[in-house]
Amino acid sequence: MCIAVPAEVIRKKEGNIGVVDYGDLTQEVRLDLVDVDIGEFVLVHVGFAIQKLSREEGLETREIFKQVYAAMGE
Record the pTM: 0.88
Nearest CA to 26 out of 34, 15, 13 is that of 13
- C-alpha angle with apex 5: 17 to 29, nearest 5 degrees? 10
Helix (H, G, I), strand (E, B) or coil at 58: helix
Do residues 17 and 30 make contact, with C-beta atoms less than 8 angstroms apart?
A: yes
Is a pLDDT exceeding 80 seen at residue 1? Answer: no
In the CATH hierarchy, which top-level class contains the domain 5-73? mainly beta
Query: Which residues sit opposite 44 in a β-bridge?
Result: 5, 49
Helix (H, G, I), strand (E, B) or coil at 37: coil
> pLDDT digit string (tens) for 18-59?
999 998 899 999 999 999 999 999 999 999 999 999 999 999
Q: Domain ranges in the chain?
A: 5-73
